[in-house]
Structure 1
């Protein structure tokens, strides 16, 4: 196994990485993809539902490699197969404990509460407010919390200081 380290220079980048270890299914998918290439169907057979979400989180974290597997049957279709590209983290962040608490609150927030806040953020985006600062001002939420939640949610994309609705792309 090749050892590669993902560089983390912003504490918000830790959100999807920590999210990977929040459920048994996510952990198992990660561990499997560390050592071998697997297709979506193979992963579903091994772990059932929740595999696609785990792959999206890995992709959101920038840790997923994708390539095409050619079928052994000439009439078959090629399939995407997946592999984890990083085995280690190199973290270089300077953050106050208060800010760390804000990020951890976003990571471990209950799903119903998260969904409600994401809907509020999407409502602001629909009104044309896509910068974290504008969304923060309108919702009363902390800038760092918005960034962390946008990094965690599969409904939002964080691009610098801008928040956009996520496109429903195939993994």
Structure 2
């Protein structure tokens, strides 16, 4: 087995790492993915809809890899963790750290409200600039980045926030 190390150099990436296993389903799925290749039907059978959402989140933050395997119903996509270890190398000021801790521990209901606000700012456009969102929501760019990294519906592309299904 090849040993790959995920190096975290950005304080904002901590939110993604901490939320990779923040529920029992995510934790168990991550452990299963680290030991074998698992298909989506296997995940749905064992973990239900929450397992499917967890897999999509792990894919969004690029902690898993996929490959096609031959299953009972023909070719199926199977998933496995890409990294075997995580190394955290960062230096941040206390205000950034406070924002990251807040983004990590924010209740799901508040995160959902944040996502809806940003989605309405995006509307039919190709995204909203992080700076514009920070100004409109009276939040720091670090907090915005942390919340977007935690989100299952938003992503950062360059300097813009977009929806995962959007541009």
TM-score (norm 2): 0.90
Q: CA deviation at 1:149?
A: 0.8
Q: CA deviation at 1:92?
A: 2.1
- For 2:139 and 2:117, how far apart are their aligned partners in 1? 10
Q: CA deviation at 1:49?
A: 3.5
- Secondary structure of 1:80's partner? strand
Q: Which residue of 1 is the match for residue 161 of structure 2?
A: 163
Q: CA deviation at 1:101?
A: 1.7
Q: Does 1:22 align with 2:22?
A: yes
Q: Which residue of 2 is the match for residue 66 of structure 1?
A: 66
Q: Does 1:51 align with 2:51?
A: yes
- Of the structure 1 ranges 34-43 and 24-33, higher mean CA displacement relative to structure 2 is found in 34-43
- For 1:71 and 1:117, how far apart are their aligned partners in 2? 40
Q: Which residue of 1 is the match for residue 96 of structure 2?
A: 99
Report if the CA contact (8 A) 1:16-1:60 is conserved.
no
- Of the structure 1 ranges 149-158 and 1-10, higher mean CA displacement relative to structure 2 is found in 1-10
- For 1:82 and 1:67, how far apart are their aligned partners in 2? 7
Structure 2, unpaired ranges of 5+? none
CA RMSD of aligned residues (A): 1.8
- Secondary structure of 2:155's partner? strand
Q: CA deviation at 1:127?
A: 7.4
- Figure out how many residues of one structure are paired with residues of the other and give that number: 165
Report if the CA contact (8 A) 2:154-2:163 is conserved.
yes
- Structure with more strand by fraction: 2
Residues 92-126 of structure 1 show CA distances to partners (whole Å, capped at 9, x for unaligned) of 22112221121121121111111111111112222
Report if the CA contact (8 A) 2:43-2:51 is conserved.
yes
- For 2:65 and 2:129, how far apart are their aligned partners in 1? 30
Instruction: Map 1:6-17 to 2 at 5 A.
Output: 6-17=6-17
Q: Does 1:145 align with 2:143?
A: yes
